[in-house]
Amino acid sequence: MLALRKTAPAPGLVLQDVAEPGRPEAGEVLIEVAAAGICGSDVHVYDWTDGYAFMSSRLPVTLGHEFCGRIAAVGPEVSGLAEGDLVAPIPTIGCMRCTDCAAGFPQRCNFRRTVGLTRDGAFARFVRVPALSCVKLHPGTDPVLAALLEPLCVGDNAANVGDVHFGDVVLVLGPGTIGQAIARAASWRGAAQVVVAGMNDTARLATALQVGATDTLDLALFSNLRSAFLALTNGREADVVFEATGHPASIADGLSVLRKDGVLVSAGIHATPAQIDLTALVRNRQQLRGAHASRRPSWEIMARRLIEMPEQVRPFVSLQLGLEDAIGGFERSRARDVSKVVLRPGGVPA
Ligand SMILES: [Zn+2]
Ligand SMILES: [Zn+2]
């Protein structure tokens, strides 16, 4: 089968023929991939920017961690899943033997693997995953929307970490899919105003407005984030700021509009350290928190949203492509003239 792989610790990806994964082992299922999204982190892996060296010892590996598909085969010792079920796997896989895994926090596991980063993922026709990682989707779920579950849950998790409340004023720095998903989640939690900021990012800022943002700011047009933001909010500082840019300077930018006792959540992957004024942070009693990946409760909630309000998530997807056109999809993603690009290993339906 065709698979899009990272084969060496250097820039680039290779579309190559590989063997199919074979029969699932005990506790596993084989999934025929229906749809798999290209993530910002996949683009970083393509470019081989700093922050992904942890993958080096696992190469070659097939990318693709945001996906859904139908179960093609069920291994021994699996219950509750059957051939033909539409599922979306949670990509972080714990060892299921340590105390963190036993407590329901596989993302804390020191032995965890991530489908599509440190074990083979979904940019291929078939992928094998542990049955326990699968979230069963509601009948009638659109597979293209289900490929959005992972980023939607990362956004929901970040909104939980930031403790967004009804009536809050929220700033999201970065209009990529994670920034958009945070805007979606903050809006669902009842935020009164959700401002999404970007820099020369017209297409993705437009998408942000369709998925929950109330306002957008193109920072190419303003020299000062604080004055541009306060002009939009009638002088009110942000209750919660989310950073989803990966640019270290945006942490200080975000703190410049955060109210006293406010929370800044960093969700970006930064290639270099950030400089922040800690004394101001202390005196303003602000909190800086990190948010990464997601937990199963978010997946259950977001899986329901896909079936109850599909139109509120459909604008996330800009483009669907066959696997053979994947590199073109990566180039479009990097150029930021589209929002989410979804690959269809079985072909794009007419
Ligand atoms: Zn992702
Ligand atoms: Zn573990």
Rounded Cα distance, 267 and 236, in Å: 23
Closest CA to 65 of 148, 157, 155: 148
DSSP 217: E
Quote the tokens at residue 262. 């406010």
Q: How far is the CA of 164 from the centre of ligand 1 (A)?
A: 22
Domains 2-148+313-344 and 155-290 share a fold: no
Q: How far is the CA of 161 from the centre of ligand 1 (A)?
A: 18
Is the Cα dihedral 89, 91, 97, 98 positive or negative?
A: negative
Q: How far is the CA of 340 from the centre of ligand 1 (A)?
A: 10
Ligand nearest to the CA of 98: 2
Q: How far is the CA of 154 from the centre of ligand 2 (A)?
A: 20
Residue 306 has phi, psi (to 5 degrees) of: -60, -35
Cβ-proximal residues to 28 (8 Å cutoff; 6+ apart), any chain: 75, 78, 128, 129, 130, 131
CATH of segment(s) 2-148+313-344: 3.90.180.10
Q: How far is the CA of 290 from the centre of ligand 1 (A)?
A: 16
Q: How far is the CA of 86 from the centre of ligand 2 (A)?
A: 26
Cβ-proximal residues to 13 (8 Å cutoff; 6+ apart), any chain: 4, 5, 6, 45, 46, 63, 326, 327, 330
Q: How far is the CA of 67 from the centre of ligand 1 (A)?
A: 10
Write the DSSP string, 270-320. Answer: -SSPPP--HHHHHHTT-EEEE--S--HHHHHHHHHHHHH-GGGTGGGEEEE
Q: How far is the CA of 133 from the centre of ligand 2 (A)?
A: 13
CATH of segment(s) 155-290: 3.40.50.720
Judging by beta carbons within 10 Å of its beta carbon (0-12, 13-18, 19+), is residue 173 exposed, middle or buried?
Answer: buried
Closest CA to 313 of 212, 242, 244, 243: 212
DSSP 115: B
From first to last of its 350 residues, the chain has per-residue pLDDT tens of 999 999 999 999 999 999 999 999 999 999 999 999 999 999 999 999 888 889 999 999 999 999 999 999 999 999 999 999 999 999 999 998 999 999 989 989 999 999 999 999 999 999 999 999 999 999 999 999 999 999 999 999 999 999 999 999 999 999 999 999 999 999 999 999 999 999 999 999 999 999 999 999 999 999 899 999 999 999 999 999 999 999 999 999 999 999 999 999 999 988 889 999 999 999 999 999 999 999 999 999 999 999 999 999 999 999 999 999 999 999 999 999 999 999 999 999 88
Could you tell me what percentage of the chain is helix, strand and coil, using 3-state DSSP and rounding each to the nearest 5? 35, 25, 40
Rounded Cα distance, 229 and 115, in Å: 38
DSSP helix/strand/coil, 36: strand
Ligand nearest to the CA of 90: 1
Q: Where are the domains of the chain?
A: 2-148+313-344, 155-290
Rounded Cα distance, 154 and 160, in Å: 10
Residue 166 has phi, psi (to 5 degrees) of: -55, 130
Ligand nearest to the CA of 41: 1
DSSP helix/strand/coil, 55: helix
Ligand nearest to the CA of 97: 2
Q: How far is the CA of 160 from the centre of ligand 2 (A)?
A: 23
